[in-house]
Amino acid sequence: MFAITILGNNSAVPAFDRHPTSQVLTLPGRNFLIDCGEGTQIQLIKYKIRRSKISHIFISHLHGDHYFGLVGLINSFALLGRQQELTIVAPEPLQEIIRMQLDAAHTTLCFPLKFITINCSGVLMTIDGVEVSCFRTDHRIECYGFVFKEIEKLRKLNIDAVKATEVPVNFYHHLKEGRDYVTPGGSVIKNELLTFPADKAKMYAFCADSRYDERILDHIKGADMIYHETTYLDTFAEIANARFHSTTRQAGKIARLAGVKKLLIGHFSSRYDTLEEFETETREVFPDTDLALEGVSYLMP
Protein backbone atom coordinates (compact mmCIF):
# COMPACT_ATOMS: atom_id res chain seq x y z
CA MET A 1 0.00 0.00 0.00
CA PHE A 2 1.43 3.34 -1.04
CA ALA A 3 -1.53 5.56 -1.73
CA ILE A 4 -2.59 9.14 -1.17
CA THR A 5 -6.08 10.05 0.07
CA ILE A 6 -7.28 13.61 -0.32
CA LEU A 7 -9.06 15.20 2.66
CA GLY A 8 -9.12 18.79 1.43
CA ASN A 9 -8.49 20.34 -1.98
CA ASN A 10 -9.42 23.98 -1.57
CA SER A 11 -7.24 27.00 -0.96
CA ALA A 12 -7.61 29.64 1.72
CA VAL A 13 -11.32 29.99 2.50
CA PRO A 14 -13.57 26.88 2.63
CA ALA A 15 -16.14 26.98 -0.17
CA PHE A 16 -18.44 24.79 -2.27
CA ASP A 17 -18.09 21.99 0.28
CA ARG A 18 -14.36 21.89 -0.44
CA HIS A 19 -12.01 21.87 2.53
CA PRO A 20 -8.55 23.31 3.19
CA THR A 21 -5.44 21.28 2.40
CA SER A 22 -4.86 17.89 3.95
CA GLN A 23 -3.95 14.49 2.59
CA VAL A 24 -3.01 11.09 4.00
CA LEU A 25 -0.18 8.93 2.67
CA THR A 26 -1.06 5.32 3.50
CA LEU A 27 1.94 3.05 3.98
CA PRO A 28 2.05 -0.52 5.24
CA GLY A 29 1.31 -0.27 8.97
CA ARG A 30 1.20 3.52 9.34
CA ASN A 31 -0.19 6.73 7.91
CA PHE A 32 1.53 10.04 7.29
CA LEU A 33 -0.66 13.13 7.35
CA ILE A 34 0.43 15.95 5.04
CA ASP A 35 -0.91 19.38 6.06
CA CYS A 36 -3.86 19.68 8.37
CA GLY A 37 -6.30 22.49 7.55
CA GLU A 38 -9.26 23.29 9.76
CA GLY A 39 -11.73 20.40 9.94
CA THR A 40 -9.19 17.70 9.04
CA GLN A 41 -10.21 15.60 12.04
CA ILE A 42 -13.80 15.68 10.83
CA GLN A 43 -12.70 14.66 7.32
CA LEU A 44 -10.70 11.77 8.83
CA ILE A 45 -13.87 10.53 10.55
CA LYS A 46 -15.96 11.06 7.43
CA TYR A 47 -13.60 9.00 5.25
CA LYS A 48 -13.04 6.35 7.95
CA ILE A 49 -9.28 6.82 8.17
CA ARG A 50 -7.90 5.44 11.38
CA ARG A 51 -6.47 8.40 13.26
CA SER A 52 -4.50 6.13 15.58
CA LYS A 53 -2.37 4.96 12.64
CA ILE A 54 -1.11 8.50 11.97
CA SER A 55 2.44 8.53 13.31
CA HIS A 56 3.79 11.67 11.62
CA ILE A 57 2.25 14.94 10.50
CA PHE A 58 4.10 17.06 7.95
CA ILE A 59 3.13 20.74 7.78
CA SER A 60 4.34 22.58 4.69
CA HIS A 61 3.96 26.14 5.98
CA LEU A 62 2.10 28.28 8.45
CA HIS A 63 -0.71 29.70 6.38
CA GLY A 64 -3.83 28.78 8.29
CA ASP A 65 -5.44 26.70 5.56
CA HIS A 66 -2.54 24.25 5.98
CA TYR A 67 -2.45 23.81 9.75
CA PHE A 68 -5.40 25.31 11.67
CA GLY A 69 -6.80 21.78 12.19
CA LEU A 70 -3.65 20.48 13.86
CA VAL A 71 -4.23 21.61 17.43
CA GLY A 72 -7.76 20.18 17.37
CA LEU A 73 -6.45 16.84 16.13
CA ILE A 74 -3.75 16.74 18.82
CA ASN A 75 -6.38 17.67 21.42
CA SER A 76 -8.68 14.89 20.24
CA PHE A 77 -5.80 12.39 20.35
CA ALA A 78 -5.37 13.35 24.02
CA LEU A 79 -9.08 13.05 24.79
CA LEU A 80 -9.20 9.66 23.07
CA GLY A 81 -6.32 8.39 25.23
CA ARG A 82 -3.71 7.97 22.49
CA GLN A 83 -0.47 6.49 23.81
CA GLN A 84 1.90 6.16 20.86
CA GLU A 85 4.30 8.93 19.95
CA LEU A 86 3.24 11.57 17.43
CA THR A 87 5.85 13.46 15.43
CA ILE A 88 5.13 16.87 13.91
CA VAL A 89 7.43 18.12 11.16
CA ALA A 90 6.99 21.83 10.49
CA PRO A 91 8.63 25.23 10.24
CA GLU A 92 8.89 27.45 13.30
CA PRO A 93 7.08 28.68 15.32
CA LEU A 94 4.45 25.92 15.16
CA GLN A 95 5.75 24.18 18.25
CA GLU A 96 5.26 27.36 20.28
CA ILE A 97 1.78 27.94 18.84
CA ILE A 98 0.67 24.44 19.82
CA ARG A 99 2.30 24.62 23.23
CA MET A 100 0.53 27.90 24.09
CA GLN A 101 -2.84 26.42 23.25
CA LEU A 102 -2.25 23.24 25.26
CA ASP A 103 -1.06 25.35 28.20
CA ALA A 104 -4.12 27.62 28.03
CA ALA A 105 -6.35 24.54 28.42
CA HIS A 106 -4.12 23.04 31.14
CA THR A 107 -3.83 20.00 28.88
CA THR A 108 -1.23 17.38 29.71
CA LEU A 109 -0.80 15.00 26.80
CA CYS A 110 -0.93 11.27 27.52
CA PHE A 111 1.39 10.52 24.57
CA PRO A 112 4.83 11.79 23.53
CA LEU A 113 4.58 14.74 21.13
CA LYS A 114 7.80 15.29 19.23
CA PHE A 115 8.55 18.29 17.04
CA ILE A 116 11.03 18.37 14.18
CA THR A 117 11.56 21.94 13.06
CA ILE A 118 12.57 22.36 9.41
CA ASN A 119 14.49 25.32 8.13
CA CYS A 120 16.19 24.05 4.95
CA SER A 121 15.90 21.41 2.23
CA GLY A 122 17.26 17.94 3.04
CA VAL A 123 16.59 14.42 4.22
CA LEU A 124 14.41 14.35 7.33
CA MET A 125 14.19 10.67 8.26
CA THR A 126 14.03 7.09 7.04
CA ILE A 127 11.26 5.07 8.56
CA ASP A 128 9.94 1.58 7.66
CA GLY A 129 11.94 1.71 4.43
CA VAL A 130 10.64 5.14 3.39
CA GLU A 131 12.98 8.10 3.14
CA VAL A 132 11.32 11.46 3.74
CA SER A 133 12.94 14.67 2.58
CA CYS A 134 11.80 18.25 2.21
CA PHE A 135 12.56 21.05 -0.22
CA ARG A 136 11.91 24.79 -0.23
CA THR A 137 9.22 26.13 -2.53
CA ASP A 138 8.74 29.70 -3.73
CA HIS A 139 5.87 30.94 -1.58
CA ARG A 140 4.96 34.12 0.28
CA ILE A 141 6.27 32.67 3.53
CA GLU A 142 8.75 29.89 4.29
CA CYS A 143 7.24 26.76 2.71
CA TYR A 144 8.37 23.19 2.06
CA GLY A 145 7.39 20.35 -0.21
CA PHE A 146 7.88 16.77 0.94
CA VAL A 147 9.22 13.71 -0.91
CA PHE A 148 8.37 10.20 0.26
CA LYS A 149 10.61 7.63 -1.39
CA GLU A 150 10.82 3.93 -0.72
CA ILE A 151 14.45 2.94 -0.39
CA GLU A 152 15.59 0.28 -2.86
CA LYS A 153 13.73 -2.89 -2.11
CA LEU A 154 15.33 -6.33 -1.81
CA ARG A 155 15.15 -8.94 -4.56
CA LYS A 156 12.79 -11.83 -3.84
CA LEU A 157 14.08 -15.40 -3.37
CA ASN A 158 13.10 -17.95 -6.00
CA ILE A 159 12.61 -20.59 -3.32
CA ASP A 160 12.38 -23.55 -5.69
CA ALA A 161 15.60 -22.57 -7.43
CA VAL A 162 17.40 -21.87 -4.15
CA LYS A 163 16.39 -25.20 -2.63
CA ALA A 164 17.73 -27.06 -5.65
CA THR A 165 21.18 -25.68 -4.76
CA GLU A 166 23.41 -25.97 -1.72
CA VAL A 167 23.14 -22.22 -0.80
CA PRO A 168 23.07 -22.08 3.02
CA VAL A 169 20.19 -20.28 4.73
CA ASN A 170 22.47 -17.64 6.24
CA PHE A 171 23.41 -16.47 2.72
CA TYR A 172 19.79 -15.83 1.71
CA HIS A 173 19.87 -12.15 2.70
CA HIS A 174 22.93 -11.67 0.46
CA LEU A 175 20.96 -13.20 -2.38
CA LYS A 176 18.19 -10.66 -1.69
CA GLU A 177 20.81 -7.93 -1.91
CA GLY A 178 21.80 -9.21 -5.36
CA ARG A 179 25.01 -11.10 -4.66
CA ASP A 180 25.99 -14.22 -6.64
CA TYR A 181 26.72 -17.40 -4.72
CA VAL A 182 30.16 -19.04 -4.93
CA THR A 183 30.12 -22.73 -4.06
CA PRO A 184 32.83 -24.27 -1.85
CA GLY A 185 34.15 -25.81 -5.11
CA GLY A 186 34.59 -22.32 -6.56
CA SER A 187 31.81 -22.28 -9.14
CA VAL A 188 29.54 -19.24 -9.36
CA ILE A 189 25.74 -19.36 -9.35
CA LYS A 190 24.47 -16.11 -10.81
CA ASN A 191 22.04 -14.21 -8.60
CA GLU A 192 19.38 -13.89 -11.28
CA LEU A 193 19.04 -17.67 -11.35
CA LEU A 194 18.14 -17.66 -7.65
CA THR A 195 15.99 -14.54 -7.22
CA PHE A 196 13.26 -12.51 -8.81
CA PRO A 197 13.59 -8.76 -9.28
CA ALA A 198 12.57 -6.52 -6.39
CA ASP A 199 9.28 -4.65 -6.52
CA LYS A 200 9.88 -1.18 -7.84
CA ALA A 201 10.43 1.40 -5.11
CA LYS A 202 7.68 4.02 -5.11
CA MET A 203 8.08 7.77 -4.81
CA TYR A 204 5.55 10.51 -4.10
CA ALA A 205 6.19 14.24 -3.96
CA PHE A 206 3.90 16.82 -2.36
CA CYS A 207 4.91 20.14 -3.89
CA ALA A 208 3.01 22.35 -1.39
CA ASP A 209 2.11 25.95 -2.24
CA SER A 210 4.42 27.55 -4.76
CA ARG A 211 4.92 29.82 -7.68
CA TYR A 212 6.10 28.12 -10.86
CA ASP A 213 9.66 27.20 -9.92
CA GLU A 214 11.88 24.82 -11.89
CA ARG A 215 14.30 24.64 -8.97
CA ILE A 216 12.09 21.96 -7.45
CA LEU A 217 12.69 19.61 -10.39
CA ASP A 218 15.88 18.13 -8.87
CA HIS A 219 13.87 17.05 -5.85
CA ILE A 220 10.91 15.46 -7.60
CA LYS A 221 12.48 13.91 -10.70
CA GLY A 222 11.50 10.30 -11.22
CA ALA A 223 8.53 10.41 -8.85
CA ASP A 224 5.69 8.06 -9.65
CA MET A 225 3.21 10.69 -8.67
CA ILE A 226 3.39 14.32 -7.61
CA TYR A 227 0.81 16.65 -6.18
CA HIS A 228 1.20 20.21 -7.46
CA GLU A 229 -1.07 23.07 -6.60
CA THR A 230 -3.17 24.76 -9.28
CA THR A 231 -4.81 27.56 -7.42
CA TYR A 232 -5.82 29.27 -10.67
CA LEU A 233 -6.70 28.55 -14.26
CA ASP A 234 -4.17 29.78 -16.76
CA THR A 235 -5.93 33.07 -17.51
CA PHE A 236 -4.92 34.12 -14.00
CA ALA A 237 -1.21 33.51 -14.48
CA GLU A 238 -0.30 37.06 -13.47
CA ILE A 239 -2.37 36.96 -10.30
CA ALA A 240 -0.95 33.52 -9.52
CA ASN A 241 2.56 34.85 -9.79
CA ALA A 242 1.82 37.91 -7.68
CA ARG A 243 0.27 35.72 -4.97
CA PHE A 244 2.99 33.05 -5.08
CA HIS A 245 0.69 30.40 -6.55
CA SER A 246 0.59 28.33 -9.74
CA THR A 247 -1.77 27.70 -12.62
CA THR A 248 -2.93 24.56 -14.40
CA ARG A 249 -0.43 24.78 -17.26
CA GLN A 250 2.43 25.60 -14.92
CA ALA A 251 1.73 22.48 -12.84
CA GLY A 252 1.50 20.43 -16.03
CA LYS A 253 4.85 21.79 -17.19
CA ILE A 254 6.52 20.91 -13.89
CA ALA A 255 5.16 17.33 -14.13
CA ARG A 256 6.37 17.04 -17.73
CA LEU A 257 9.85 18.40 -17.04
CA ALA A 258 10.18 16.16 -13.97
CA GLY A 259 9.23 13.12 -16.02
CA VAL A 260 6.73 11.85 -13.47
CA LYS A 261 4.06 9.30 -14.27
CA LYS A 262 1.05 11.01 -12.76
CA LEU A 263 0.07 14.48 -11.60
CA LEU A 264 -2.53 15.32 -8.99
CA ILE A 265 -3.75 18.91 -8.88
CA GLY A 266 -5.49 20.78 -6.07
CA HIS A 267 -5.58 23.86 -3.80
CA PHE A 268 -8.30 25.35 -5.97
CA SER A 269 -9.25 28.97 -5.46
CA SER A 270 -12.68 29.67 -3.97
CA ARG A 271 -13.44 31.80 -7.02
CA TYR A 272 -14.19 28.57 -8.94
CA ASP A 273 -17.35 26.63 -8.15
CA THR A 274 -16.57 23.82 -10.61
CA LEU A 275 -13.27 22.08 -11.36
CA GLU A 276 -13.58 20.45 -14.80
CA GLU A 277 -11.63 23.20 -16.51
CA PHE A 278 -8.66 22.62 -14.21
CA GLU A 279 -8.41 19.06 -15.46
CA THR A 280 -8.90 19.98 -19.09
CA GLU A 281 -6.29 22.75 -19.10
CA THR A 282 -3.67 20.78 -17.21
CA ARG A 283 -4.11 17.70 -19.41
CA GLU A 284 -3.33 19.81 -22.47
CA VAL A 285 0.21 20.04 -21.06
CA PHE A 286 0.40 16.79 -19.10
CA PRO A 287 -2.19 14.17 -20.09
CA ASP A 288 -1.89 11.92 -17.04
CA THR A 289 -3.40 14.47 -14.66
CA ASP A 290 -6.16 13.89 -12.15
CA LEU A 291 -8.09 16.33 -9.98
CA ALA A 292 -7.33 15.69 -6.30
CA LEU A 293 -10.90 14.94 -5.18
CA GLU A 294 -11.82 14.80 -1.52
CA GLY A 295 -12.38 11.30 -0.20
CA VAL A 296 -10.64 9.67 -3.17
CA SER A 297 -7.49 7.52 -2.81
CA TYR A 298 -4.90 7.55 -5.58
CA LEU A 299 -2.51 4.61 -5.87
CA MET A 300 1.01 5.22 -7.17
CA PRO A 301 0.85 4.25 -10.86
Q: In 3-state terms, what secondary structure has residue 270?
A: coil
CB of 54 to a second copy, least distance (A): 15
Query: Distance of CA 42 to CAs 46, 145, 176, Å?
Result: 6, 24, 43
In the set 96, 180, 214, 218, which binds a second copy (CB under 8 A)?
96
Q: In 3-state terms, what secondary structure has residue 101?
A: helix
Whether 263 contacts 225, CB under 8 Å: yes
Residues 6+ apart with CB under 8 A from 178: 155, 191, 195
Q: Establish if 139 lies at the interface with a second copy (CB under 8 A).
A: no
Residue 62: count other Cβ atoms within 10 Å of its Cβ.
17
Q: Establish if 111 lies at the interface with a second copy (CB under 8 A).
A: no
Q: Establish if 296 lies at the interface with a second copy (CB under 8 A).
A: no
Region near a second copy per CB under 8 A, out of 37-45, 172-180, 183-191, 280-288: 37-45
Q: Establish if 95 lies at the interface with a second copy (CB under 8 A).
A: no
Region near a second copy per CB under 8 A, out of 36-44, 126-134, 158-166, 177-185: 36-44
Q: Which residues are catalytic?
A: 65
**H or E stretch covering 40:** helix 40-46
Q: Establish if 63 lies at the interface with a second copy (CB under 8 A).
A: yes
In the set 109, 123, 141, 217, which binds a second copy (CB under 8 A)?
141
Please provide the size of the chain in residues.
301
What DSSP character marks residue 91?
-
In the set 50, 114, 123, 140, which binds a second copy (CB under 8 A)?
140
Whether 231 contacts 246, CB under 8 Å: yes
CB of 75 to a second copy, least distance (A): 4
Cα 31 from Cα 53, distance rounded (Å): 6
Q: Establish if 258 lies at the interface with a second copy (CB under 8 A).
A: no
Under the rule (CB under 8 A), what is the footprint of a second copy? 12-15, 19, 38-39, 41-42, 45, 62-65, 68-69, 71-72, 75-76, 79-80, 93-94, 96-97, 100-101, 104-106, 140-141
